[in-house]
Amino acid sequence: MLTINGNRVPTDKLVIEPHFLTANITLDDGRNDVSLVAIDMWGRSLFYEATLWAGDNTVTVSLVNSNGTPFTTQTNVIASLGDNQSVAARTVTSNGIATLMNVPSRTIMISARGANNELGSAAIAGTQRSVIIPMRGFNPPVAIKNHDFSRGTEGWISSPGARIELIPHVAEIPGFPRSARSVRSAITPMAQKRDFSIGTRGEGEQSTSYTFTTEPGTTAVRIRYRFITSEIPAGYYGSEFNDSFRVSIRSQVGDHAYEANAMNGLGRAAFNDAGETDWRELILIVERSGDTVEFNISVTNVGDNLYDSQVVINIIEEIKDQVRTELAWNPRQGGVDLTWEVLRSPLTEAAIVDVYFAKGTDYEDRLGSRLFRHTIPANTRPGRNTVNIPGQRLAITSPRTARTPEGTTHLIAFNSPNLVGYIADVNITFGERVLGQERIFPELLDVIRGGQRVNGVASVTITSGYRPPSEQARVMFNNL
C-alpha cells in the first residue's frame, strides 16, 4: 500500500516491475510525505518512508552589477529549500541569468558566488516569478576597527531601511543550557554591554557588511551571532512564512564560510518560546601574513510584511592560534591519522594536541575522557606533520568493560578551542534484507564500531541480522 500525505494511491495508478514501483500521480505543491507498506515473495514486510518536495513555479534570477547592468562573470548559483536545505538546485551562469524550475511555493534561499569571490544572496517565496540579486565585491576596509561596537555602528554599511539597533548583551539566552561559547572568548567589557542588531521592516531582505584587514599573525576570524524571529511566538512555525538569515565571511584570497538557514530549516528545538536561538559561531581560516575579510549578514521577512526577524551580532574576533589539526581514517595502517600544522613562527613553547570522542564538531562537544595526547616540541618550525593514533586506543573490545560515550558522532582534535579538527565516527548501515534491526543491542554496535576504528575504516554494512527459525531454515537450505 502506497500513501501520500495520508491518502492511499489507487492500485490502478501503480505499475509494479522487478525492483521498481511507479505511481502515475501528480504530487501536491510543497511537502509530500510518502509511505510504503508491502510484502515480498517470502512473506516479509517491507517499509519505506520519504518526504518529497514538489512545485510548478518557475523563478528567473537576474544577477546585476552595482550599476544595474548584467553581471557576466561566471557564477555558481545555488537555490535551496528553506524547510530543508538538502533539497537544492545548482547551476552555473555567465550571462547573469539563472532559471529555476519546479519550485515549491515555500521559502527559497538563493546564493550566488562569482569567480572572483563576488557574493549575492536573496530569500524569496517560491511564488515570486523573478528576483534581482546585486553581486557585491569587497568594500574598502575600515581605517579604525570596530569589532566590539565600542564605536557604535561605525564601519558597518547597512541597506537603506534596515532596522539597526545597539542592544544590551545577553550572555545566556533563556531556554538554553549554559553555553561554553559565551564565556570562552576574550570579550571586552564594552562588548559584554552592547550587541549589534539588524532587523527587517516589513517584507523583504535587509543586510549589513563590515570589511577590515587582519593583523599579521591572525590565523582565523570568528563571528558570534543569533537569529530571532517573531514568527514563532505568533504561531507561524512550520508555515510558508519562513523567515531566513545568512551570515558569511569571505577572504580576498578566495576562501569563504557561511551559514544560511530559515526558521523551519533550523527546527523548533533551535528556538526558545520567544523565537530566539542560542549563540552561534562561524569561523574562517585567513592568510596569516595579513588578509582583507568581509562579513556579510542578511535577514529576510518572507511572505508578508508582518512579524519581523533580526540577527544579533555579539562580536567579531581575530584569532592568533598557532596549531591547526586534522583527522582522517587510515585503512592501511589502521586507526586514525592526526595531522597537525604549525601556522606561523616557530613555537615558543610546547603545544599539546588532545583527541576526544564528541557529540559534534566543536570544542565544547567533547565527551568522556581524553583518548590520545600528542606533544609538539618547542621551537618546531611552521609546517605539517602526521602521527598515527593506534586503533586499539579507540576500540571498544567488550560491551561489559567499556562503552563509547553516549551521543558520540565524531572524534575531535585540538590544541585550542578555536581551531578544531574532526572526523565522523564509524557509520553503520544495514543491508536491504536485514531483519530485526531493533533487536541488535547498542552494546554490540559499539563493539562493531570499535573493530572498524581498529581497522581505520569509516563505515560498515551489516548484511545479516536476526532471523526467525523459518527464515534461518530457508537461508541454510538455499546455501546447501
Walk me through the domains of the chain, giving residue ranges and CATH numbers: 2-54 (no CATH), 57-319 (2.60.120.260), 323-462 (2.60.40)
415, 320 contact by CB (below 8 A): no
- What is the rounded CA–CA span in Å between residue 189 and residue 65? 40
State the Cα–Cα distance between residues 53 and 104, nearest whole angstrom.
Answer: 7
CA distances from 143 to 151, 195, 253, 282 (A): 12, 21, 20, 24
Buried b (16+ CB within 10 A) or exposed e, 34-47: bebeeeeeeeeeee
Q: Quick one: pLDDT at residue 417?
A: 83
pLDDT in tens, the chain (480 residues): 899 999 999 999 999 888 888 999 999 999 999 999 988 878 888 888 999 999 999 999 999 998 999 999 999 999 999 999 889 999 999 999 999 999 999 999 999 999 988 999 999 999 999 999 999 999 999 999 999 999 999 999 999 989 999 999 988 888 886 544 443 444 444 445 799 999 999 888 999 999 999 998 888 899 999 999 999 999 999 999 999 999 999 998 878 899 999 999 999 999 999 999 999 989 888 887 889 999 999 999 998 888 999 999 999 999 888 898 999 999 999 999 999 998 767 888 899 999 999 999 988 899 998 999 999 999 999 899 999 999 888 876 544 555 788 889 999 999 988 789 999 999 988 877 676 666 677 788 888 888 999 999 999 888 777 777 887 888 889 888
Q: Give pLDDT, residue 3.
A: 93
Sheet holding 256-262, edge to edge: 156-158, 204-213, 292-301, 244-251, 256-262
Residues ≥6 apart with Cβ < 8 Å to 365: 358, 359, 410, 412
Q: How far is the C-alpha of 264 from the C-alpha of 80, rounded, in Å?
A: 13
Q: 3-class DSSP state for residue 391?
A: helix
As a whole number of angstroms, the distance between CA 147 and CA 144 comes to: 10
Establish how many alpha carbons lie within 13 A of residue 259's alpha carbon, considering only the half-sphere containing its beta carbon: 17
Residues 79 and 124: their CA atoms lie apart, in Å, by 10
Looking at this protein, which amino acid is placed at residue 28?
D
- Length of the chain measured in residues: 480
Where helices occur in 80-131 by DSSP H, the ranges are: none
* CA of residue 358 relative to chain centroid, distance: 17
CA neighbours closer than 13 Å in the CB half-sphere of residue 265: 23
What is the CA 405 to chain-centroid distance, rounded? 23
pLDDT confidence of residue 303: 82
* E-assigned strand segments in 185-304: 194-199, 204-213, 220-229, 244-251, 256-262, 280-285, 292-301
pLDDT for position 429: 86
pLDDT of residue 178: 57
74: exposed, middle or buried (Cβ count in 10 Å: 0-12, 13-18, 19+): exposed
Q: State the Cα–Cα distance between residues 18 and 41, nearest whole angstrom.
A: 12
Q: What confidence score (pLDDT) does residue 188 get?
A: 42
Cα 387 from Cα 326, distance rounded (Å): 11
Question: In degrees rounded to 5, what are phi and psi of residue 85?
Answer: -70, -10
Give the pLDDT confidence score for residue 433 in this predicted structure: 67
The rounded distance, in Å, linking the Cα atoms of 134 and 111 is: 11
Return the number of other C-beta atoms located less than 10 Å from residue 251's C-beta. Answer: 20
Distance CA(108)–CA(61), nearest Å, equals 12
